[in-house]
Amino acid sequence: MLRGIDPILSPDLLHALAAMGHGDEIVIADANFPGTSMGRLLIRADGVTASAMLRAVLSLMPLDTFVDDPAVTMQVVGDPDAVPEAVRDFQAIVNEVADAPATLAGIERHAFYDRAKAAFAVIQTGETRLYGNIILKKGVIGP
Amino acid sequence: MLRGIDPILSPDLLHALAAMGHGDEIVIADANFPGTSMGRLLIRADGVTASAMLRAVLSLMPLDTFVDDPAVTMQVVGDPDAVPEAVRDFQAIVNEVADAPATLAGIERHAFYDRAKAAFAVIQTGETRLYGNIILKKGVIGP
Amino acid sequence: MLRGIDPILSPDLLHALAAMGHGDEIVIADANFPGTSMGRLLIRADGVTASAMLRAVLSLMPLDTFVDDPAVTMQVVGDPDAVPEAVRDFQAIVNEVADAPATLAGIERHAFYDRAKAAFAVIQTGETRLYGNIILKKGVIGP
Amino acid sequence: MLRGIDPILSPDLLHALAAMGHGDEIVIADANFPGTSMGRLLIRADGVTASAMLRAVLSLMPLDTFVDDPAVTMQVVGDPDAVPEAVRDFQAIVNEVADAPATLAGIERHAFYDRAKAAFAVIQTGETRLYGNIILKKGVIGP
Amino acid sequence: MLRGIDPILSPDLLHALAAMGHGDEIVIADANFPGTSMGRLLIRADGVTASAMLRAVLSLMPLDTFVDDPAVTMQVVGDPDAVPEAVRDFQAIVNEVADAPATLAGIERHAFYDRAKAAFAVIQTGETRLYGNIILKKGVIGP
Amino acid sequence: MLRGIDPILSPDLLHALAAMGHGDEIVIADANFPGTSMGRLLIRADGVTASAMLRAVLSLMPLDTFVDDPAVTMQVVGDPDAVPEAVRDFQAIVNEVADAPATLAGIERHAFYDRAKAAFAVIQTGETRLYGNIILKKGVIGP
Amino acid sequence: MLRGIDPILSPDLLHALAAMGHGDEIVIADANFPGTSMGRLLIRADGVTASAMLRAVLSLMPLDTFVDDPAVTMQVVGDPDAVPEAVRDFQAIVNEVADAPATLAGIERHAFYDRAKAAFAVIQTGETRLYGNIILKKGVIGP
Amino acid sequence: MLRGIDPILSPDLLHALAAMGHGDEIVIADANFPGTSMGRLLIRADGVTASAMLRAVLSLMPLDTFVDDPAVTMQVVGDPDAVPEAVRDFQAIVNEVADAPATLAGIERHAFYDRAKAAFAVIQTGETRLYGNIILKKGVIGP
Amino acid sequence: MLRGIDPILSPDLLHALAAMGHGDEIVIADANFPGTSMGRLLIRADGVTASAMLRAVLSLMPLDTFVDDPAVTMQVVGDPDAVPEAVRDFQAIVNEVADAPATLAGIERHAFYDRAKAAFAVIQTGETRLYGNIILKKGVIGP
Amino acid sequence: MLRGIDPILSPDLLHALAAMGHGDEIVIADANFPGTSMGRLLIRADGVTASAMLRAVLSLMPLDTFVDDPAVTMQVVGDPDAVPEAVRDFQAIVNEVADAPATLAGIERHAFYDRAKAAFAVIQTGETRLYGNIILKKGVIGP
């Protein structure tokens, strides 16, 4: 445990967040997500909700302001306009914690998979609610 | 996620529990425990309480009936007879979940450290209550 | 050995089953299958029949309900409509153990090989009956 | 699979048996044995009985004739003269298959552990009968 | 050394032969063959002739009966119809030892190289006769 | 870079600080310290002063309150009572930044080496002032 | 520390500079640069400015005289002709320290990324000024 | 040191030369050559001239007689017909030491690089003369 | 294959012989020797006799002239004065090939084992004659 | 190659010299020295004389002024007062190049070996003169 740092952030996760640079992306995935086969770097957080993880990650990581959609979620299969409960939570947490405002954008399931495969890391949480997945793009901290 | 298995048990932890044999010990440690320097095998579970972890581990692992004390906790420094809240929880969970009855036995802090160093694995939980540590000795499953 | 878990599931296999996510596939292969050269991850289970392995795997792993054919077998070379004894066994076990109904679908030998190469893991059993191979796609466990 | 070789012998096990030399020892252990923590080299054979494994190993490996006890088993705790069912099977298999006659000798549980820790390898079988453990010392094949 | 197994088969080679499955290929190469740069898995057998190695490999490994040419050799550069002394030996050994009849088929040097690069393993023998190379395709052992 | 975290803390150093537990020690060493040969885990920070590093480390890491001397420095060889400039700086930074008050204690050069060898990690800074070395013992963060 | 060598050059960086040959490129990157995901070899120098690093690198490494632009920087996004403060510093240091004259050339942000991905190494400094990135191509040292 | 073997051949280099087969190529490169980034296997020989290395390598390695140009050098950039001093030395050493006659052929700089990248190994010598690079193709040793 | 080097010396063995220095020892062991468990570095030479290996090793390696017994063999158990056929061969080969005269000295079996465990390497030959083991101590090559 | 650095210093050697700290020792050994078995870290420099290497190392590395004998050589066996030619060279080079004056001290052969085993690294040169070995202790560079 460290002073002022959310204790659900493991040493491996702190390392990844600090090693990421401008434009790198990280996936917060739910418990059913195929994180091992898709993640270039997999960080497990079984037993932690995606919401709690999002809050912890955004407390340290700036969002990218060079792009339109620095935070994207997975659309419900067959109902792309639906807003699952987990996604509603995510938007509220972004509004509350992020260093810059961002409106979540939904993308199709397999487009989400392709982007996850190219991401810097995947955090596999224990989130049991379906569609509890979000991709965040890291921004810049000025001088 | 798997059918009928507590989802806070990560793949690495399931592997360790299955690989352990008769007499091997596992430590469920709190967030302040020096698990990296002491554990021969360290399994992190940041963000999970020691109580939830104990319940999950005992749902799968039998306790050793060949010894008197298959489950031991760390005594409070300077007050060996005190029963911290976490330990009270542990006893209730053992009573409820374990395959065999067991009364928790307290041992001195550095004796606890020595035994942890020889254990099969240490699970570093996110338990923030002090003295939230317990060592369990694996038993036998009959034919 | 663990409480309530089929003891033919090795620690490595438990790890793989738990690490797999929605849409990942696992191959249960017979003793003649080229598992080492084709499997991205090979888990050996010499001396265990494919039938016993299928029963053990399905006791823990949900089948995918997002696709039409979550379980496929290899067609007999030169006689695609034949139903080998092992495959007949597989269907009976799926009917009995799986969390969701599924009718086995046969695919051509080299199509089976291509899919096996992309699978999460191959379990090389000691099944000596020919055509004792099956691919399973993992499903989702709801909240 | 190979011509004339028992198919329960995995590639790793064949490698170990061939790499062993005069005086090296191998442990065939039951499903409750702490093989991971004690074995310098662990070879898993979940789902295979210790009896079938003993038969397979002795079909390839000569027993040492330079010592009195080339095959030893673990005494029942608290009843050193008891002969468990598994051990009775072992003696019958040695009589039938080994290249040299040998009478099994029992040693105390912790003495068995110490010898297992120094052995070349431990084979962790799925033997569910208690005391299904045996240590074999490899002999010489003449010119 | 093991009972009934040709002692020129090293532990690594036994491992490879047992790990190979239906359709996998192995190359027995002469001392001048570029085995390190071409072999996905290289097994050295310096000091052993290709003929002795072929005899040992075929004593354990079945040949594939699903294809026309389960055993191929390298044609002499500039004289594709020539039959080098080593190849003549190979045919005699196949006739004597293999589990199924097979007529050796010659292929052009660089076609041989391409096939060797895709093989499961290359055994680099100490064969000093030129063109002492052969590729074998593993077959099936029935129930 | 992360929000609110001193940017001189590298990903590896953040990882180590988070992985340390109660009682683990870390060494901040100067540029002449034999950190590679003495450190169980070496983290380089060439070009950073020991003072800046001490300030950054203490901003995240609690000091141990279970012991008398949670922070120790190396005595000048031949003049144990001298207070080098770097050590004077260290005391001021501890006073300003640490979560608990601590008076630096000097120990003899080779005693310092022995303790450094047992520490969790050594940070090799670019501090060019002699005797710019300090050992810190990590404390506990309460619930 | 070594005689006559700038102490901010770590052992890993000295190794890389010496291992580079004619035409190899090295990137000096600022603190926001995605060095871990882009660098084939990443060398961290947290806490060091890009200017100090450039001075140290050029004190040892010759610039390539076979090409027109042996040193390139990243253009400001949306304002390619701007000259950021860091770049102005870089030109002054090149003028002062390099073994051969060179005028810095700006390239577009993603072209810079592509070239960084192909470089021999990326040095991730703690430079907090934006656009504090430069690529250097190593030259030849004559006999 | 070994009897009758040139002592400038290191153990790693002896290993590579012996592991190479018919048609494999090795590069003897000068001190400015980008051997680390281009060599699939890099063997350093700092402090040794390319001429001395060529003499040592040819004392053990046969040249390929199946191709026209078993030994090639790099043409001077902008003056392809020039014969640098190092190349003149190389031809004299080939004439004196090689097992088969060979006339050195020059190829363009980047063609040389492409071939070096595909070679079995690159020996990075300390040759300070420019254009001190040569590629050798290994031949066959007859029975 | 290399010019003038016995082709039974594999690349790994050439590497070891060249890497050994004054006073280092190498064991040439027969097929029954426990080389894997005793050798710090094991080099297999299945299918090669110990006699042929001794001849090849001595063709390159000088014997130590600083000690009385640079070459020792294993005494027959129970008959220390016997001279097995393999040992008789060894003496003849030493007389013929070694760079310095040496009379083989026999030592007791377990003393031989202890010395083998400390040796630089063990060469496991396919020698099927019993007591076909010898230890050689490397000497110096003068300027 | 780097500006102003002796080109016989390889990247690995530069790394070691920079990583060493106050009191660490490095061995410059001749071609017959058992460097692989004795060196904790071995750096080969075949083909380079010990004298040239000593000159290059001392050009970068300060000698320790806290001890009486920062540079020691090996006494001639049986003639401890002899001064071999190589040692005479060493003293001259130390006098010329070192940052601090030092008189070489001879120690007995096996004492030299013990100290070499504890050293930071051993540089195995191609020095063919006997007794061409020297141990150097690194000193401090002041602020």
Q: What is the pLDDT of residues F122-141, one digit of tens each?
A: 999 999 999 999 999 999 99
> Is C28 strand, coil or helix?
strand
Instruction: Using the predicted structure, report yes or no on whether residue G89 has a pLDDT greater than 90.
Output: yes
Q: Does residue H17 sit within a domain?
A: no
Please indicate if any CB of chain G lies within 8 Å of the CB of A12: no
Q: According to the model, what pLDDT value does residue H143 have?
A: 85
The CATH number covering residue I52 comes to 3.40.1650.10
Catalytic residue among F6, F12, F24, F113: F113
**How many distinct structural domains can be found in chain H?**
1
Asked casually if ipTM beats, i.e. exceeds, 0.85, the reply is yes
The whole-number pLDDT of residue E118 equals 97
How much is the pLDDT for D4?
95
Q: Does the annotation mark I22 as catalytic?
A: yes
- The catalytic position among D24, D46, D64, D114 is D64
Cα separation, J129 vs J118, whole angstroms? 24
Q: How far apart, in whole angstroms, are the C-alpha atoms of residue J83 and residue F133?
A: 41
Residue F1 lies in a domain: no
Strand (E) or helix (H) holding C93? helix C85-97
Q: Which residues of J19-34 are buried (b: 16+ CB within 10 A; e: fewer)?
A: bbbbbbbbbbbbbbbb
Q: What gap in Å lies between CA B55 and CA A47, rounded to an integer?
A: 13
**Residue F79 within a domain:** yes
| Sequence-distant (≥ 6) Cβ neighbours of residue B81 within 8 angstroms | none
Q: What is the pLDDT of residue I142?
A: 87
pLDDT at position A23 is 97
Q: CB–CB of A1 and B32 under 8 A?
A: yes
For the stretch G97-120, pLDDT in tens is: 999 999 999 999 999 999 999 999
- Closest-CA residue of C relative to D48 is C47
| Residue G143 confidence (pLDDT) above 90 | no
pLDDT reading at H19 higher than 90: yes
Amino acid residing at I99: D
Q: What is the pLDDT of residue C66?
A: 92
User: Which pLDDT score, from 0 to 100, does residue D124 have?
Assistant: 98
Please list the ranges in chain D whose pLDDT falls under 50.
none
A residues 46..65 contacting G (CB < 8 A):
none
Q: pLDDT-derived band of residue F59, with 50, 70 and 90 as boundaries?
A: very high
Starting at the edge strand found earlier in the chain, the sheet holding H105-107 runs H42-45, H121-125, H25-29, H134-137, H71-74, H105-107
* pLDDT at C36 > cutoff 90: yes
Probe site for chain I from J27, J30, J32, J133 (most I CB atoms < 10 A): J32
Give the chain C residue nearest B4 (alpha carbons): C60
| Mean pLDDT (whole number) for J108-127 | 97
User: What pLDDT is stored for residue A142 in this prediction?
Assistant: 87
The label of the residue with tokens 């040949």 reads E63
Subunits touching D (CB < 8 Å, at least 3 pairs)?
B, C, E, I
pLDDT of residue A49: 97
User: Of J41, J53, J32, which is closest to residue J109 (Cα–Cα)?
Assistant: J32
**I95: pLDDT strictly greater than 90:** yes
pLDDT for res B141: 95
Which tens digit of pLDDT belongs to each residue from I25-41?
999 999 999 999 999 99
Residues B6, B15, B99, B113: which is the catalytic one?
B113
CA torsion sign for D27, D32, D36, D42 is positive
Angstrom distances, CA of residue I114 to CA of D67, I74, I117, I118: 19, 12, 5, 7
Six-digit token string for I140: 């110096």
Q: Assess if residue A112 is contained within a domain.
A: yes
Clarify whether A131 is annotated catalytic. Answer: no
How far is A96 from A111, CA to CA, in rounded Å? 27
Query: C65-91: per-residue pLDDT in tens?
Result: 999 999 999 999 999 999 999 999 999
Q: Residue H25 domain-assigned?
A: no
- B2–C60 CB contact, under 8 Å: yes
Structural domain for B64, as ranges: 36-138
Mean of all residue pLDDT scores within chain I: 96
Cα separation of D37 and F111, whole Å? 35
Chain A residue with the nearest C-alpha to that of B2: A32
Confidence of residue G83 (pLDDT cuts 50, 70, 90): very high
Is J37 within 8 Å of chain I by CB? Answer: yes
Q: Hey, how many other C-beta atoms are within 10 angstroms of the C-beta on E42?
A: 17
SS3 letters for H57-80? Answer: HHHHCCECCCCCCCEEEECECCEC
Enumerate the residues of chain D whose CB falls inside 8 A of the CB of residue C8.
Answer: 46-47, 126
Segment J37-76, tens digit of pLDDT:
999 999 999 999 999 999 999 999 999 999 999 999 999 9
Residue G8 Cα distances to A34, A83, G92, angstroms: 43, 52, 20
How near does any CA of chain C get to the CA of A10, in Å? 19
pLDDT by residue (tens digit) across H27-69?
999 999 999 999 999 999 999 999 999 999 999 999 999 999 9
Average pLDDT along chain A: 96
Which residues fall within 8 angstroms of residue E123, CB to CB, at 6 or more apart? E13, E26, E27, E28, E29, E35, E43, E44, E45, E53, E57
Cβ atoms within 10 Å, residue C108:
12
Please tell me whether residue H15 adopts helix, strand or coil conformation: helix
pLDDT score, position B98: 96
Q: How far is F58 from chain J (nearest CA, A)?
A: 25
Query: With 90 as the cut, is the pLDDT of residue E139 above it?
Result: yes
Chain J nearest CA to I143, separation (Å): 5
Whether residue B142 has pLDDT greater than 90: no
Residue F90 lies in a domain: yes
The answer to whether residue B18 scores a pLDDT higher than 90 is: yes
pLDDT of H142 over the 90 cut: no
pLDDT tens sequence across E27-55 = 999 999 999 999 999 999 999 999 999 99
Active site residue F131: no
> Who among D2, D19, D60 is closest to E61 (CB)?
D2
For chain B, the average pLDDT equals 96
